[in-house]
Structure 1
Amino acid sequence: MIKLGIIGTNWITQQFVEAAQATKQYQLTTVYSRHQDTATQFAEKNGATATFDDLNAFFSSDQFNTVYIASPNSLHFEQAKQAIAHHKNLIVEKPAFMNQKQMAEIQRLLDQNPDVLYFEAARNIHTPNFHAIAKQLGELKTVSGAEFTYSKYSSRYDKVLAGEVPNVFSPKFGGGALQDLGVYTVYDAVTLFGMPEEVAYFPQLIRTGVDGKGTAVLSYPEYTVTLNFSKISNSHMTSEIYGLKDLIEIDDGGEIQHVNYVDADGQRHVLGENDGTNPMIPEAQDFARVINDPEKPQNQKDYAYWRQLSVYVNKILFNLRQDAHIFFVGEGEKVIGDQRD
């Protein structure tokens, strides 16, 4: 049984905890929050026995061996370093880290501590529907491009319109559409098509200084992949992977609840449907499989692949921000710019 500690008590943490418990492979034991009352409430609701409002004391606890980090984006790096120093496996909510310098440091620490396992929680690529997409993609005779869209209006944008700066739209905390919904679409592209040759990003900036929505273009040798994402508007546009006369049709690039193959005659063939279960269960199962049996050859192969994907996605996200001249607090253009290549 994996003893789980968590950082963050928001809705996504609740969803992951429920997914983890549904696998029967995890036991939530420990909760950290900046506010003791919040930690206690979350622990009582979910069956944890230990709570902390001091991060050093939390990581020093022997009541958990794996930590799920779902704090604001800008805090992931330092918390991940603490986890590694205390030999805790870490599951970091996407996006794992802000830039290539942070990612390189984490990879160095992981290499020095091979007993620690690291996972980026990008739930979409672990789902059965995503695997169905990948399988059908391999059967296309020709691939001529793709478009992935994932746009959902955030209730936090109401606060921006009211003059506030919530974390998810704050440059201090690494917010913005690319760093949130955009991550899923970048994972779609990199997992299915590999690393692009060039990237470009065309953001719509909002008052807080981050991107509320945007379009990214990833250039491959024979086609382009376009990513559309927004936290300030809704979209019901489907995502598509193009063959010649045929295509793969996806409801959106994040949830991936409905997937069809549309043949050359326009006939739809269902590849995958939403089964109504918690969408984070597949990733929780995958992570548990590796944590529980890290020496199994297939698990080692999968782990190395997921870890490399995380590095690739981090690089693309960083380069997209560089292209659009989007910098977070503490990231000077002169300093960060040296890391692009």
Structure 2
Amino acid sequence: MLKLGIIGTNWITQQFIDAAHESGEWQLTTVYSRHLARAREFATLNHATETFDDLDQFYSQGSFDAVYIASPNSLHFEQAKLALAHEKHVIVEKPAVANQAEFEQLDECLRQHPDCLLFEAARQIHEVNFKRIQAQLAKMPRIQGATLTYMKYSSRYDAVLAGEEPNIFSLKFAGGALQDLGVYLAYDAVGWFGMPDEVAYYPTLIRTKVDGKGVAVLRYPSFTVTLNVGKTSNSFLPSEINGLRDTIVMDNAAELGQVSYHDDQGTVQSIGVKPDKNPMLAEARDFAAVINDPAGHRSEYQSWRQLSRNVNKLLFNLRQSGHIYFNDAERNQPDK
């Protein structure tokens, strides 16, 4: 049984803990929060035994094998780097880091600590329906493009309208629609089609100067993929991948609840399965499998790291295109 430590006590952390426990591979032992009372409350709820409000003590004294980091985006890098320095495996919520420079520094940390593993918690790439779409694409003789949509109104936008600046809508905390919901669409695009040749992002900026919504265009040699992302409104449009006369249709490009294939004769076939009730269950199992047998899962792990690297690069280049910068160093850094 792997011992789990957590940073962050929000709903997504609870969802991952539930998935980890359901998998039968993990047990939560250690909780960090800036507020010790909150750490103790969360630990009691989830039967953990250790609580900390000091991050150095959490890493040096906590008895856990891997840490799940679900703090604000801008804190992921330093917290992951500190975890590796303490020889802990790292599971970091998407987006793992804010830019390529941070990604490369974490890669260097991994080289210095070769027994440690780092995972970006991009849950849908571990799910059956994501893989079913990959398999169907391999059978289609020609791809002519795709339109992928994920737009969900955030309750935190109410705070923005009231004059506040919550973390997810703050440049200081590497927020915005692209960095949040857009990560799912970026993983779809790169996982199914590879890296595009050219990209452009057309953001709709809100008062806090992050993108509340936006449209990204990814140009491939023979087709274009459009990503529609937003946190300031809802969309109920399905997503599609277009072949010549055939089409893959998804109810939602991130959640992948229903997936169907419309062939060139007009026949519609469901190619998906009913998703797990907890959408993080598949990744919790996969991460445990790799940690327990890294040699036996080396190729899987390396492919996830490369995909994570490419998604990070894509997001950075899209933000550069849309003139969204989290700091001055990014403003002066060319895209790659």
CA distance in 1, matches of 2:331, 2:206: 22
Q: Does 1:20 align with 2:20?
A: yes
Q: Number of aligned residue pairs: give it.
A: 336
CA distance in 1, matches of 2:281, 2:114: 26
- Name the stretch that deviates more: 209-218 or 273-282: 273-282
The one-letter amino acid paired with 2:166 is P
Aligned residue for 1:128? 128
Aligned residue for 1:102? 102
TM-fit CA distance, 1:98:
0.6
**Would you say the 8 A contact 2:128–2:273 is kept in 1?**
no
**Would you say the 8 A contact 1:73–1:98 is kept in 2?**
yes
Partner of 1:256, secondary structure, is coil
Partner of 1:213, secondary structure, is strand
The one-letter amino acid paired with 2:307 is L
Match of 1:317 among 290, 315, 318: 315
Moved runs in structure 1, 4+ residues, more than 4 A? none
Structure 2: runs of 5+ lacking an equivalent: none
Aligned residue for 1:302? 300
Task: Note the 1:184-195 alignment, pairs <5 A.
Answer: 184-195=184-195
Aligned residue for 1:340? 335
Per-residue CA deviation, residues 290-340 of structure 1 (Å, 9 max, x unaligned), is: 0010011xx100000000111101111111111111012xx116x543342
Q: Does 1:137 align with 2:137?
A: yes
Q: Does 1:274 align with 2:270?
A: no
CA distance in 2, matches of 1:61, 1:245: 60
Partner of 2:272, secondary structure, is strand
Q: Does 1:252 align with 2:252?
A: yes
CA distance in 1, matches of 2:149, 2:274: 18
Task: Note the 1:29-178 alignment, pairs <5 A.
Answer: 29-178=29-178
Aligned residue for 2:196? 196
Structure 1: runs of 5+ lacking an equivalent: none
Per-residue CA deviation, residues 124-175 of structure 1 (Å, 9 max, x unaligned), is: 1111111111111111011111111011100111111111111110111011
Sequence identity (%): 59
CA gap of 1:275–1:187, structure 2 versus 1, over 3 A, is closer
TM-fit CA distance, 1:276:
4.8
CA distance in 2, matches of 1:226, 1:49: 47
Partner of 2:29, secondary structure, is strand
**Would you say the 8 A contact 2:147–2:227 is kept in 1?**
yes
TM-score by length of 1: 0.97
| Superposition CA RMSD, Å | 1.0
Partner of 1:138, secondary structure, is helix
CA distance in 1, matches of 2:54, 2:111: 28
